[in-house]
Amino acid sequence: MYDTEREFTISEVSELTGYPAHVIRYYEKEFELEIPRNSANHRYYTYKELEIYNYIKALQEKGFSNKQIKLIMSSPEILVSNGETAVTTITKKEADIVPNYTEICCMFKEMISDELKPILLEKEDMNLSVISELRDEIVQLRREISSKERDVLICENIKLKMKVKEKSYEVVELKDRLKREQETSRGIFNKIFSRK
């Protein structure tokens, strides 16, 4: 329970209500709250303003919009016993303006399903044929891709075989060269060592 005689700063109200300071100032305008000001024209808050902000928060948590909360706050109030608790009453006309959230959702859901169902059923055959055509196109594309991949692999394989053949010719040529060099070097060594 808050001290009924104390004056609170906006940061204290922010901490107590959970609203940031800018939201507290916004709600002052939104709900047309008369927040008292001191001689320096700074806002200060009393127990009464804290209760109003907590009441707004409670209504928001129950799913009411700001417009609905404004309507509830502007309706007549009945003070109960000690004057601390206020009970708000809404007239029949105002109650019609504040519809039940779940009723709206149910009506909206029914309306959408009633309107969309025939459209979806009507388009179902067309959608199935389009899906079938797309599936056939995908299969055809896969075949083309695999065929192209196979052709590319065959070409690469032929290129590699040609390179292997070229390298084998180079190896044979190098072996012949080595053999000639060895014979030449043997001949020189034979000549050198045969003189001795």
Q: What is the pLDDT of residue 93?
A: 46
Q: What is the pLDDT of residue 81?
A: 40
CB 90 within 8 A of CB 81: no
Q: Which two tokens stand for residue 95?
A: 């109650």
Residue 1's nearest CA partner among 38, 44, 54 is: 54
Distance of CA 16 to the CA centre of its chain: 32
Q: What is the pLDDT of residue 156?
A: 86
Q: What is the pLDDT of residue 131?
A: 87
User: Which stretch of DSSP H or E encloses residue 78?
Assistant: strand 77-80
**Each residue's pLDDT expressed in tens, for the chain with a length of 196 residues:** 567 788 999 999 999 999 999 999 999 999 999 999 999 998 999 989 999 999 999 999 998 999 888 888 877 554 344 444 444 444 444 444 445 556 677 777 787 777 777 777 777 878 888 888 999 999 998 888 888 888 888 888 888 889 998 999 999 999 998 888 877 777 666 667 665 5
Q: Which two tokens stand for residue 45?
A: 């808050």
CB 73 within 8 A of CB 33: no
Residue 9's nearest CA partner among 33, 51, 37 is: 37
For 187, the 3-state DSSP assignment is: helix
